[in-house]
Amino acid sequence: MRTGRIVIYSYVVDLDNEEMVERAKTCAYEDIMNAVKYNEVGNILTVEEATDLDPSDIPEFLKDEEDYEWSHRCFR
């Protein structure tokens, strides 16, 4: 089994540059808000392979294939 992440944007930043980090956070916020406003959220979701994770990192609610009422738990 390969593990991965569902991500909304993935900006690479210099963590030692606080201004850059804040600018990236602001850009991410604005991009997300525009995606919601224009009904394009599906366009900003991507899948990345995560070689640093293993199957035990997958949340339980995603593992239960028979749990059809999972959607209320997605936004915590």
At residue 22, the 3 state secondary structure works out as: helix
Contact 64, 70 (CB under 8 A): yes
Q: CA–CA separation, 40 vs 1, rounded Å?
A: 30
SS3 at position 65: coil
**What DSSP element (H or E) covers 24?**
helix 18-37
Q: What's this model's pTM, rounded to 2 decimal places? A: 0.65
Q: Supply the pLDDT for residue 74.
A: 60
Q: pLDDT by residue (tens digit) across 14-36?
A: 999 999 999 999 999 999 999 99
Q: Which amino acid is at 70?
A: W
Reported in sequence order, the residue ranges of the chain that DSSP labels E, i.e. its strands, are: 4-8, 45-49
